[in-house]
Amino acid sequence: MRRTLRILKRLGAWGGIALLGFLIGVIVLYILWVRSGPQTQLWHDVELEQEFSTDRADTINDLGQYLALEERVFRELDEKVYAHTPTGPDQALNRFSTGSGSDPRAREPNWNRTFELIPPQPRGGVLLLHGMSDGPYSLRALGLAMAEQGYQVLGLRMPGHGTAPAGLLSVTWEDMAAATRLGMAHLAEQRAGQPLHIVGYSTGAALAVDYALEAMAARDAEGQEDARVPVPAGLVLVSPAIGITPAAAVTPWLVRLSRLPGLEQVAWTTLLPEFDPFNYNAFSANASLQVHRMTRSATARLQRLARQGPIRGFPSTLVLLTEVDATVSPDAAVDNLLGLLAAEGHELFLYDLNRLGVVSPLLVADTAQLNQRLLGDDRLPFALTLITNAAADTRAVVARRKPPFSPAPTETEALDAQWPEDTISLSHVDLPFPPDDPLYGRYPPKDSHEVFLGQAAFRGERGVLKIPAQWLLRLRHNPFYDYQERRVLSWIDEASRRATRSEAQSSEN
């Protein structure tokens, strides 16, 4: 017996050594692979000292101070990056080359900056929160529509964004959450007594959920809100980052490795030329880590609240989601958020695959299971609107609506829209962009010399382009945007009315 135990211990020790050697080999191969790829540029390494962070939260107390700091960080960007980047024909698609087709400063306005839209007689406020590596441009179209409908709109630039990708090396989700609180405090001061809403896209949606939980926790024992942290009347969550790939858990090790001399490239999970004026093409391990940390934090708090039963008093929430999403988990929006809430007016707006496009196995594998799971479930505490083909043999589209706790859809609306012939699904990045978007739309604007990224298509041998095929294949505008916008505007109005009625009833009591 003792001999057997000694043999097992030796085998265990050798097995551990073999596993350690395997892991070291994987790390070495990964480092060699990364170092053989694109080199970092000035905009990947620059340090912008005037950027907002939680360290400045004690001195930056309102939006005016935040905007003054933002002005300084953009001047610093000009001095440290634009002034040292070459110009000329070979830089025509470099966003950091002055006067290039991708230079965001040549556009009016520069949508990388915080913007505010104030109609003549505002009837509420809306805070727009963009995603990680993104900028205020992503929610520009929705913001303009909401301003036309009478809402004061604040499109907030998140720290580390809109300037240089190097900002993704140090930004934390706590920095972005602090900026969110400043934005909501500004709207609360401007629109005292009126309904406030948050529209969040991707990581911005996770920030919206985090803020809502914080505002709910700030209520006193009698349920009265803290005026400094007002509870939103409604949330609109676009492609929300409620859950992301488990692979993000390895990013802390990449961040640590990147701090070693000569391994700076390891800090980047993606390094591409910077040709998009309003979105970084590079993505860092730290950015993945921050999204992972934020989603874990919000999910843990939601699950703790749900142990006491369905969560009540959460802001009216509309989730806009596509059935297939390579960036975030569509199921997590149901399992970790909507499914935990009480039936208090929440809804999921879900885009199906193009069912005419999935009939051939050569085109796509039908991995869409979420809609099938939801359509037959009579325990769902939220409404479901499914955008799908009217029939399997047509590109025409309908909206099927299913009320909470219903076993099947009860209403079908034919839409004046159909799937484009070349489209088999929507994507994580396209939901907030209309087909006529001047940067990501279906067709480029006439007589424009600015870069257009909506329908980029190239042919040739693989490995020639610096841009990966997956970037070119991804749809970047929503062919059903007009219907979606009408539904969002209607939702915001209804959430405002619901909040006003609730406030009136509380006052009477």
**Whether the predicted pLDDT of 247 surpasses 50:** yes
Assign 362 a pLDDT band (cuts: 50, 70, 90). low
Cα separations (Å) of 36 from 29, 182, 272, 362, 465?
11, 42, 14, 34, 16
pLDDT, tens digit, for every residue of 260-298?
666 677 788 888 899 999 999 999 989 999 999 999 999
pLDDT, tens digit, for every residue of 440-449?
999 888 877 7
> Rounded to whole angstroms, how far apart are CA atoms 450 and 463?
26
Rg, the chain, Cα only: 24
pLDDT, tens digit, for every residue of 92-151?
999 999 999 999 999 889 999 999 999 999 999 999 999 999 999 999 999 999 999 999
**Whether the predicted pLDDT of 9 surpasses 90:** no
Question: Bridge partners of 152?
Answer: 125
pLDDT, tens digit, for every residue of 60-90?
999 999 999 999 999 999 999 999 999 999 8
> Rounded to whole angstroms, how far apart are CA atoms 509 and 504?
9
pTM of the complete model: 0.91
Domain ranges for the chain, please list them.
Answer: 39-508
Cα separations (Å) of 457 from 115, 392, 468?
32, 28, 12
- Which structure tokens are listed for 220? 């006193």
Helix, strand and coil percent figures for the chain, each rounded to 5? 40, 15, 45
Q: Yes or no: is domain 39-508 CATH 3.40.50.1820? A: yes
Residue in this structure with the two tokens 């067709």, named with its chain if needed: 443
| Per-residue pLDDT at 33 | 46
| Per-residue pLDDT at 179 | 97
Q: How large is the average pLDDT for residues 160-184? A: 96
**Whether the predicted pLDDT of 459 surpasses 70:** no
